[in-house]
Amino acid sequence: MSLLNVFATGLTFYVVAAVCGMIAALSKRDGRTLVCLTCVAGAAFEAVAALRVLLAGDTLYWSFTAGIPNFAYSFQIDPLAAFFLLALSALAIPISIYSLARPHLASTATPFQLFYALLLLSITLVFSASNVMTFLLAWEGMVLTAYCMVVSAHEENEVRRGGLLYILMSRGGTGFLFLGFLFLSLGSGSMEFASFHNAGMRMEPSFGAATFLLLFAGFGIKAGVIPLHIWLPAAHPVAPSNISALMSGILIKTGIYGMARVFFDFYGEPPVWAGMLVLSLGVVSALLGVLYALMEHDLKRLLAFHSIENIGIILIGFGAALLFRSFGQPKLAALALVAGLFHTLNHGVFKALLFLGAGSVLHATHTRNMEEMGGLIRRMPSTALYFLIGAVAISGLPPLNGFVSEWLTYQALLAGFGVTETLTRMAFPIAGALLALTAALAAACFVKAFGITFLALPRSEHAAEAREVPGTMRAAMAILAVFCAGLGLGATWFLQVFDPITQQAFGVSASPAMVLNSGLALAAGPGAGTVSLLGIAVFLIALLAVPVLLRSVWKPIGRPSHGPTWDCGLPGLTAANEYTATAFSKPLRMIFSALFRPRREILTEFDVSPYYPTAIRFESEIQPAFEKHFYDPLKSGILTMAKRMRGIQAGSVHAYLAYIFVTLIALLLFGVRE
């Protein structure tokens, strides 16, 4: 079967799934099983098409007329698009399997059937679009279908607010993209992406800088780059958990895809300031994202902030690649680009796993508040295991996939110190140090997330009565857990996937210098650091075998006895004796109080005397800095301007005709001047 037929077959399955879902919704039947299985088939075909491009060297260009002069729908799957299509397929299959048992709320069933397949279809078209109009149409379809999924449970005020914030920010992002693509089209004389190749070098410096900033802002909003991130922690928690996994795993990566397309295809050798801007915003997003995540007690909102953190890590790789390209270091640029793209895939896998795990917890406990959980490891052992694997991966610990991409990022930053003699070189070790701090804070955050959620005693009746989720939900999490291990242990074999991309961007292949000893060790280039993930895995397995061997050699005399946990002489341990999420994060809240600006309030209730309190209630919250100091004043300014402009809408036809007349005169004068 030709590459075009494989790709078109995958699209056809998505269309069929959308039609079946619409028919089921209109007839008020449950068509979730048919929709999900059809989407699995569509994702499988798209994965085959992507792998053929990346491994076999096939390419696809497909165009057909739209019935409008000088316009056609065109699609192209080159190595960069194929990589993101592969990431989409790798997530769409397990999420669709998970969704066979979802959603557990009846109010979300109809929106899922109507829009899930359309969302997968629109994301696929975003990655494969080959001209501006096709891309923007697919982009708008993705935005609208994702919005409909976010507001599935629209009866709740929090859901409506999250959906509104998402759609407003998306509208602004689309506006930036429209202007940026307009400037590129004017500079290249065409709307085809092929004509944009290295167009940035052919534009006037100021014009090219404005285009770069517009496109970076438009794609940055979708990716959740700070300070354009405020929609993400508002929308992801309120969406159904399977959709949260899809949004965090791949939908926000459409912004990363757009940045990669702009940075490494549309522009040639970028100015140094562009790389510094991307690197700086990456560091800020990574560090602030994890700091805000540490303060969260809402499990899904915590994961949403970690998406911002990992987007920052990806941008650190992209920023380093831009700087290396500016300094004439294509091999180091390829290393940094591979680190950023590999972390894009890795984050999609382990973040989807974590969101599906959070969805399973929500399904069992009916709450997102970690303070009302606890003790779930006994009642949901499979979910706890898969969540732990995702937590280890996102913390960047070996031998799982998160460690590999973060290690490559570190190596690229360490190598960057010696590529220039200017003060710019200091950006690399500073970024590396802050990335190390981010990784340490992420590990602390997931100690909190896993420990408060799954360990100790249940803190609520729902947690005490929780039961393991259905088999399809566990199977989906198991698939993603295997991906986390496979991408870590098999990283040296997977790296060849990036060679066509680095060849396309920089004219060099990255994997030959990064794979040592027949794939047993991973290197960051000649003379750089090396690591063997398989060796680390064998060492960890050997460590786990030590206590088993000791137990078999020194068997205790008699049968082992069991007793209660030591309670320091108290009558007995209860949930009130446990460490809370608030207490766990308090030291960091105090250390970074200048950022968080915490507000604390202690309310004490008395019965007879103030010396004998009957209840003490503690409340604490942190200040949303970006909302208070940037977005709230911006909103107030827009509303004030709108009120002043209201007088222009006089309701008079004569006034409106006068406006048109004045506009025509201005255009004529402008035309005469030209």
Provide the whole-model pTM: 0.92
As a dihedral over the C-alpha atoms of residue 44, residue 45, residue 47, residue 49, rounded to 10 degrees, the angle is 170
In this structure, what DSSP letter does residue 639 have? H
CB-based contacts of 61, cutoff 8 Å, min separation 6: 74, 75, 76, 130
pLDDT of residue 29: 81
Of 187, 201, 340, residue with least CA distance to 274 = 201
What percent of the chain is predicted at pLDDT more than 90? 56
CA-CA distance, 226 to 166, in Å (whole number)? 15
With beta carbons less than 8 A apart as the criterion, state whether 255 and 221 touch: yes
Buried b (16+ CB within 10 A) or exposed e, 290-322: bbbbbbbbbbbbbbbbbbbbbbbbbbbbbbbbb
Tokens of 193: 């992406």
pLDDT of residue 554: 76
Strands 530-531 and 521-523: antiparallel
pLDDT in tens, 230-259: 999 999 999 999 999 999 999 999 999 999
pLDDT at 5 over 50: yes
With beta carbons less than 8 A apart as the criterion, state whether 355 and 244 touch: yes
Strands 60-68 and 71-77: antiparallel
pLDDT at 107 over 60: no
pLDDT of residue 69: 66
| 432 alpha carbon, distance to own chain's centre | 21
pLDDT of residue 352: 96
pLDDT of residue 616: 77
The SS3 call for residue 468 is coil
pLDDT in tens, 585-639: 888 888 888 788 777 777 788 777 777 777 777 777 777 788 888 888 888 888 8
pLDDT at 318 over 90: yes
Q: What is the rounded average pLDDT of the residues 262-268?
A: 89
Banded pLDDT at 269 (limits 50, 70, 90): confident
pLDDT in tens, 169-210: 999 999 999 999 999 988 888 888 988 988 887 888 888 899
pLDDT of residue 347: 96
pLDDT of residue 607: 74
Q: What is the rounded average pLDDT of the residues 344-363?
A: 96
Q: What is the rounded average pLDDT of the residues 106-129?
A: 86
With beta carbons less than 8 A apart as the criterion, state whether 596 and 572 touch: no
Q: Residue 338: what are its φ and ψ, rounded to 5°?
A: -60, -40
Tokens of 279: 């690197």
Q: Tokens 């949901």 — which residue? A: 380
